[in-house]
């Protein structure tokens, strides 16, 4: 079996890293999600999110290509993004992209790794598809009390679309905001 592709495409410290004493050069890379590392993604998501994702979720993730990535920090798996495509009602030429999960382990936050994952997703969403529909918008849900996530997505051009009451019924703070970034506007 072939190992997952890892693109160690960044060896320059980020601004956050240059202020930390004694920090050697780091390597950050994005890896494909494959059957070989799916268990690693499952364990990572168990730590990052208070939701148990079903096997069908992970089966879908294996089919989205560039829209599911694991991020490595000096060869250590520290985060991931998982998206799924949804059909735009009434359109054969457009799809939406839903960010189901995007998370970084707490000790590795503030290194720009979440931004790297999100930028990868957005750049690929904006590429013309080799076949099939184009991505019209990227969207996700965030708990209304998650100020850090709301600030993060706003910084990347996402806007609050609506408040979804009781979206997360299993939590004390059950309301969520639907955030979106429109890539293609239909007339």
Here the CATH number for the domain that contains residue 88 is 3.40.630.30
Average pLDDT value for residue range 14-37: 74
Domain membership of residue 10 (yes or no) is yes
Domain membership of residue 61 (yes or no) is yes
**pLDDT for 6:** 43
Q: From CA 106, how far away is CA 73, in angstroms rounded? A: 13
Q: Write out the residue range of the structural domain in which residue 100 sits.
A: 6-182
98 catalytic residue (yes or no): yes
Average pLDDT value for residue range 108-121: 96
Domain membership of residue 1 (yes or no) is no
Domain membership of residue 169 (yes or no) is yes
Kindly tell me if the per-residue pLDDT of 21 is higher than 70: no
141 catalytic residue (yes or no): yes
Higher-confidence residue of 104 and 173: namely 104
Domain membership of residue 27 (yes or no) is yes
Domain membership of residue 18 (yes or no) is yes
Nearest Cα neighbor of 148 from 171, 117, 114, 120 is: 114
Domain membership of residue 187 (yes or no) is no
Higher-confidence residue of 127 and 5: namely 127
**pLDDT tens string 72-97:** 999 999 999 999 999 999 888 999 99
Q: How many domains does the chain have?
A: 1
Q: Which of 108, 141, 156, 167 is catalytic?
A: 141
Q: What percentage of residues in the chain have a pLDDT greater than 90?
A: 74
Sheet holding 76-87, edge to edge: 6-10, 28-32, 68-73, 76-87, 94-104, 134-143, 176-182, 159-164
Mean pLDDT over the full length of the chain: 88
Written as six digits, the tokens of 187 are: 């007339």
Domain membership of residue 57 (yes or no) is yes
Contact 181, 142 (CB under 8 A): no
**pLDDT tens string 50-72:** 888 999 999 999 999 999 999 99
Q: Which of 98, 108, 167, 168 is catalytic?
A: 98
- pTM score: 0.85
Kindly tell me if the per-residue pLDDT of 7 is higher than 80: no
């Amino acid at each position: 079996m072939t190992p997952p592709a890892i693109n160690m495409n960044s060896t320059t410290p980020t601004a956050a890293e240059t202020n930390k004493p004694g920090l050697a050069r780091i390597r950050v890379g994005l890896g494909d999600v494959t059957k070989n590392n799916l268990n690693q993604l499952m364990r990572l998501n168990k730590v990052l999110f208070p939701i148990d994702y079903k096997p069908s979720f992970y089966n879908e993730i294996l089919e989205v290509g560039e829209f599911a990535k694991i991020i490595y920090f000096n060869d250590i798996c520290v985060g991931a993004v998982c998206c799924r495509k949804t059909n735009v009602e009434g359109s054969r030429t457009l799809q939406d992209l839903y960010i189901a999960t995007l998370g970084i382990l707490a000790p590795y936050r503030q290194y720009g790794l979440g931004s790297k994952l999100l930028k990868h997703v957005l750049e690929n969403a904006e590429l013309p598809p080799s076949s099939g529909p184009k991505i019209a918008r990227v969207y996700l849900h965030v708990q209304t009390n998650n100020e850090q996530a709301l600030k993060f997505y706003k910084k990347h051009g996402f806007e609050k679309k609506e408040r979804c009451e009781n979206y997360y019924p299993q939590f004390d703070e059950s309301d969520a905001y639907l955030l979106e970034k429109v890539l293609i506007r239909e007339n």
